[in-house]
Amino acid sequence: MSIVTTTSLFVATAFFEITGCYLPYLWLRENRSAWLLIPAGASLALFAWLLSLHPTAAGRVYAAYGGVYVSVALVWLWLVDGVRPHVWDLVGVAVTLLGMSIIMFAPRGG
């Protein structure tokens, strides 16, 4: 799987995980409709399915996915919550993406 494909799959996976958690948040904290739980459940099911599409060990995928999740969560913070990330947020994203890249793309022997 190419770097672009892997990263794109991680980004899509993170989007559906965040959506699946954000919709119940709206119901519980913002007094929105309980009907939001239906698309939330579907979103979380899609998240789990997408995470299973990676052709490497699950533990490695979960560890690397965390770095991309952090990045997508900060984009969500900015675009959905309207809170502009701080420079230190961006430094943290850079560190997590570096870690994700090492975990997923470093050469491994036999």
Non-local CB neighbours of 96 within 8 Å, separated by 6+ positions = 66, 67, 68, 70, 71
pLDDT digits (tens, 9 = 90+) for 14-53: 999 999 999 999 999 999 999 999 999 999 999 999 988 8
pLDDT digits (tens, 9 = 90+) for 55-85: 777 788 888 888 889 999 999 999 999 999 9
Residue 110: the pLDDT is: 64
pTM of the model: 0.83
Measured on CA atoms in the order 85, 89, 91, 93, is the torsion positive or negative?
Answer: negative
Closest alpha carbon to 71 in 13, 5, 1: 13
- Mean pLDDT, residues 83-103 taken together: 94
The tokens 């900060």 sit on which residue? 74
